[in-house]
Structure 1
């Protein structure tokens, strides 16, 4: 199975390419519904609170700015309460009978608190607030319900899935899913290594797009959410064989145990058994992306003069371009092109990383040694972060053909090495701040780096990213492994 996991990407069939064309962009995740709802609720609720103050308290002559500030705080408080209680979930917003009571409770708390600050006018304020908020809430939630039901009927909120395994078990799964009343799982294709007799080319209109190797290529190139393994549970060895390969993918992997008595709307009764939980969901992607943009933009301020000095030094030291471009493995094993300062003589540049840099390597320039030892050569990758190819923190991206000092490919040294691509790669990472950087002259070094990367992936949080980010400058003081 490990051979399958490390198999290079293969060309997909024409049918698979056609299906893939519809899956290049991510689906509409719940986080985006929440963000849009919050951005709509805050100004409308804020306006209602603002109007209630003026309607009830004209004699106090509140300044527009003061009244607006109070109203904004109240609206943000209500929206925060709705977010914490999951009241922005699409299943709630689609039903006014479920969303309106939650909204009423959320706005009641800031309204009551505001009335306590105005004891002499509390009844008048509460009455005005009730009228204003009711006039705002009713069309707000009716409109959002109509819009979300249209989005749901257009299947824009579907979880995109493919099936690993065909035949009768795929048939039972697809048929059962279609009978569920609020099914949000949409199956786009089947992947199976068995022949067409045991695994037909089409099951209830869902096409077979290739074998298991094609599945890995398809999943890495698309924005699917889930892979469902549809094999009999008694086929334990084959299931383990598949799960071992699929763990390198940044998607949820589930086992089908379908029964029409279950419902996808209730996770504890789901006909899908969670096999590999995807810990980098859409809300995590958004959080990490905002984190990267914010801190990369800040880091560029002190980095720009350093980068300017480095560029001048490179230009004076040796002939050739200032920057060096290299293709590396990115998120979900996709190929990205990273930007670095050139640290080698131009005629000795090795964009394919076929010859590892060793201590005292004659290909490295005088300025290049300083840049590599201090990691200043990595600073242009801040632009990769802003472009979205890299994250500030994550497993370091290795070159497409990266090898050790003994010319061994990394995928041959460490079993399941591609599993480190389940999170976006970063400029710095957990392995780097713990001293695992530089030349791989011992297989144990790569294994240690891999274990640190897996620890980061399995324990990722914004707080861990902050810890790594602030420890990175201290780790650069130890330049023994950077040359």
Structure 2
């Protein structure tokens, strides 16, 4: 049994039925909203075309209509017209839909003018189709929001309350409640396995509220910042101050201390980039990886791959894959000792593949499995030291970096912050770069980092 199994042993492994049903319902409702929008677009423009051109509609028109639907759905998804709030708020849902329709029409007109086919465009059919589509989309969105409100009220989102020495306001009595003392949960920033246990529990919820003693609020806030979840702490005494980051629910005041850094649309774009690049790169590099695997087996006895526990998104532990570059009997599974320039543990093949970063290639499998991303904060071994101090003890903001998936490369790596961490400043430099990346993420920045990574595949600090 691994340390991870022991860390969560005896803890509930499945989500309560009601919470699981709500999470599934959100996904199906979002899919239903996408389908309803596509159907409204189809019917709306079909009505306009049928009125102006009765009879059979040509195949080219149907193809163009399908393209317009796909473009609209893509723009609406990017505009968060299918976010959770669009399922519960009619005003928000209609506003986001109208903005998406306007953007789609603008793009359509730009294409029409660039192709110089405005003379052949059926203006009456287009106008009637736009009006019909807008009426249908707004009507069905209002209807869906009304039905969701009737079926779920304000309980569509899954919410967990963790009680660690505090009181539970009446407003939260209907939520899933966990007593931290009974469940042996702690806000222990020095225990990665406890953080993994919390991360495993929190992955089933949209929001977590902590009710704890005053002296533990700061520590809970630090834990939640890297948990990739909207985390809040009940602070009744701060209600009169009226700070900006405060939520009110039935008289209970909470301070918002964390949110996942990326929206659903951003996460989808980042994952799409990972899949689009990882699959062809894995296929292309397969001969090289097979050759490296054979060389490792011939060079020294032991497995081809080196597996090590690392901290991933939401403070959940996963096993990172690398080509083995050290002798089995001297491998450091906890990562306490960083590799040095003249490290006697490294094999002959290991020295070559480490210098050229080829040892990192198996992490493409981690990306394919969804445990890592191509770009993100590098995951560190749990026992990694900066000088003689554990990474997370150098700066408590270290845990914030786990709000995103770890990456094969990242902003710190392209800036040259890699290799052994002999001094506290070595990890501080990497942490500053990771937090900068976290706060300023964009898809174009990921693409730029991937392009710059090619320049640092071989580096003076890679050994």
- Calculate the TM-score normalised by the size of structure 2: 0.75
Q: Per the alignment, in what secondary structure is the counterpart of residue 340 of structure 1?
A: strand
Tell me how far apart the structure 2 counterparts of residues 137 and 245 of structure 1 sit (CA, whole Å).
42
**Aligned residue number for residue 188 of structure 1:** 177
1:57 correspondence with 2:53: yes
Compute the displacement of 1:96 (Å): 7.6
Compute the displacement of 1:82 (Å): 5.1
Compute the displacement of 1:310 (Å): 1.9
Q: Per the alignment, in what secondary structure is the counterpart of residue 306 of structure 2?
A: strand
Deviations 1:264-313 (A, max 9, x none): xx998744332334324444433322222122123224322332332233
1:256 correspondence with 2:234: yes
Alignment of 1:142-291 (within 5 A): 144=144, 148-149=148-149, 152=152, 155=155, 157-167=156-166, 169-174=167-172, 186-191=175-180, 209-210=183-184, 212-213=186-187, 216=195, 218-222=197-201, 223=203, 224-230=205-211, 239-256=217-234, 270=248, 271-291=253-273
Compute the displacement of 1:245 (Å): 4.5
Deviations 1:167-194 (A, max 9, x none): 5x5235536xx7xxxxxxx4433447xx
Computed over aligned residues only, the root mean square deviation of the Cα atoms, in angstroms, reads 4.5
- The answer on whether the counterparts of 2:76 and 2:97 sit within 8 Å (CA) in structure 1 is yes
Alignment of 1:123-134 (within 5 A): 123=124, 126=127
1:68 correspondence with 2:69: no
Q: Per the alignment, in what secondary structure is the counterpart of residue 169 of structure 2?
A: helix
Q: Per the alignment, in what secondary structure is the counterpart of residue 383 of structure 2?
A: coil
Deviations 1:232-287 (A, max 9, x none): 9xx5x65435434443433333243669x99xxx9987443323343244444333
Tell me how far apart the structure 2 counterparts of residues 122 and 171 of structure 1 sit (CA, whole Å).
59
1:423 correspondence with 2:422: no
Deviations 1:8-37 (A, max 9, x none): 9985796x6377666799935978754552
Compute the displacement of 1:80 (Å): 5.8
Q: Per the alignment, in what secondary structure is the counterpart of residue 189 of structure 1?
A: strand
Cα 1:32–1:480 shift into 2, 3 Å: farther
Tell me how far apart the structure 2 counterparts of residues 420 and 96 of structure 1 sit (CA, whole Å).
35
Alignment of 1:38-53 (within 5 A): 38-42=34-38, 45-46=41-42, 48-50=44-46, 52-53=48-49
Deviations 1:332-373 (A, max 9, x none): 232211221121234433333344322122221222111001
Tell me how far apart the structure 2 counterparts of residues 460 and 341 of structure 1 sit (CA, whole Å).
30
Cα 1:381–1:107 shift into 2, 3 Å: closer
Deviations 1:60-89 (A, max 9, x none): x7631x102331344345546755775545
Tell me how far apart the structure 1 counterparts of residues 394 and 288 of structure 2 sit (CA, whole Å).
37
Tell me how far apart the structure 2 counterparts of residues 429 and 159 of structure 1 sit (CA, whole Å).
32
- The answer on whether the counterparts of 2:195 and 2:316 sit within 8 Å (CA) in structure 1 is no
**Aligned residue number for residue 435 of structure 1:** 416
- The answer on whether the counterparts of 1:19 and 1:188 sit within 8 Å (CA) in structure 2 is no
Runs of 5+ unmatched residues, structure 1: 1-7, 179-185, 193-207
Cα 1:56–1:338 shift into 2, 3 Å: same
**Could you tell me which of 8, 13, 17 is aligned with 2:12?**
17
Compute the displacement of 1:385 (Å): 0.4
Tell me how far apart the structure 2 counterparts of residues 461 and 128 of structure 1 sit (CA, whole Å).
35
**Aligned residue number for residue 448 of structure 2:** 467
Tell me how far apart the structure 1 counterparts of residues 22 and 358 of structure 2 sit (CA, whole Å).
34
Q: Per the alignment, in what secondary structure is the counterpart of residue 437 of structure 1?
A: coil
- The answer on whether the counterparts of 1:52 and 1:132 sit within 8 Å (CA) in structure 2 is no
Runs of 5+ unmatched residues, structure 2: 189-193
Compute the displacement of 1:152 (Å): 2.7
Tell me how far apart the structure 2 counterparts of residues 309 and 365 of structure 1 sit (CA, whole Å).
16
Deviations 1:396-418 (A, max 9, x none): 112233345x6643334444533
- The answer on whether the counterparts of 1:57 and 1:121 sit within 8 Å (CA) in structure 2 is no
- The answer on whether the counterparts of 2:323 and 2:360 sit within 8 Å (CA) in structure 1 is yes
- The answer on whether the counterparts of 1:49 and 1:75 sit within 8 Å (CA) in structure 2 is no
Q: Per the alignment, in what secondary structure is the counterpart of residue 12 of structure 2?
A: helix
- The answer on whether the counterparts of 2:227 and 2:314 sit within 8 Å (CA) in structure 1 is yes
Pick the structure with greater CA Rg.
Answer: 1
- The answer on whether the counterparts of 2:378 and 2:407 sit within 8 Å (CA) in structure 1 is yes
- The answer on whether the counterparts of 2:293 and 2:323 sit within 8 Å (CA) in structure 1 is yes
Tell me how far apart the structure 1 counterparts of residues 303 and 47 of structure 2 sit (CA, whole Å).
62
- The answer on whether the counterparts of 2:322 and 2:359 sit within 8 Å (CA) in structure 1 is yes
Cα 1:165–1:293 shift into 2, 3 Å: same
